[in-house]
Amino acid sequence: MKILSTVFSVLFALNFVSCAHSGKNYPKETVISTGEEFSFKNKHGKFIIRHVSETKRELVVNGKHHVINASARKERFNGLLGIVKSGRGFLGKDLPTAYVEGERHFQNRSEAIDKLYEGSDLFDWQCGRHGVIGGLYISPSGQIDVRLFKYFINGELAENLCSNL
């Protein structure tokens, strides 16, 4: 009986280690999933974000298409998990470019609106359905910064937040 118990323990440990080191880091708390897209128009232009895979997104900025390979965050940064991509030139220009997608969780509506105000002068946030909020900023030098969030208040999807901006 002791041998059988030891064998099961070893098999469990091997399975746990192989799963933990499989090389896959599936993103948590992303905004869009298979078959979904988010599109909006703001003062910086027209923008579409399409789900390609767990960490790939197709971005269409003012008619120019590009597929990005983002990375899943392993730890929270500024309250977010989700996916992120930053670097130079991944939207066709040799300029700093950033993409951030994730869920934002708040205790109350006022806290959520305060967070929206923080970047509203740059991003010109646009609200979609089911708590989805997107922003695009293109600097005078052409630097592109894209944000896609899903807002929650006390665990529930936040609706109509942009009406407060």
Q: pLDDT digits over 110-147, tens only?
A: 999 998 888 778 888 888 888 899 988 888 877 788 89
Cβ burial of 104 (10 Å; 0-12, 13-18, 19+) is buried
Residue 136 CA to residue 154 CA, distance in Å, equals 27
Of 97, 103, 85, 89, the closest CA to residue 150 belongs to 103
Per-residue model confidence (pLDDT) at position 136: 85
Give the model's confidence band at 8: pLDDT under 50 very low, under 70 low, under 90 confident, else very high. Answer: very low
Does residue 81 carry a pLDDT above 70? yes
Residue 135 CA to residue 161 CA, distance in Å, equals 14
17 versus 29: the higher-pLDDT residue is 29
Q: Do residues 115 and 102 touch, judged by C-beta distance below 8 A? A: no
Per-residue model confidence (pLDDT) at position 164: 61
Residue 68 CA to residue 66 CA, distance in Å, equals 6
Q: Which two tokens stand for residue 27?
A: 């993103």
Mean pLDDT over 58-72 rounds to: 86
Domain boundaries, the chain: 27-164
90 versus 63: the higher-pLDDT residue is 63
Average pLDDT across the chain, whole number: 78
Q: Do residues 24 and 97 touch, judged by C-beta distance below 8 A? A: no
Q: Do residues 67 and 58 touch, judged by C-beta distance below 8 A? A: yes
Report the percentage of the chain scoring pLDDT > 90: 36
Q: Do residues 108 and 134 touch, judged by C-beta distance below 8 A? A: no
Per-residue model confidence (pLDDT) at position 13: 33
Q: Do residues 103 and 81 touch, judged by C-beta distance below 8 A? A: yes
For 49, residues 6+ apart whose C-beta sits below 8 A from its C-beta are 32, 37, 38, 39, 57, 58, 59, 60, 101, 134, 146, 148
**How crowded is residue 51: how many other Cβ atoms within 10 Å of its Cβ?**
18
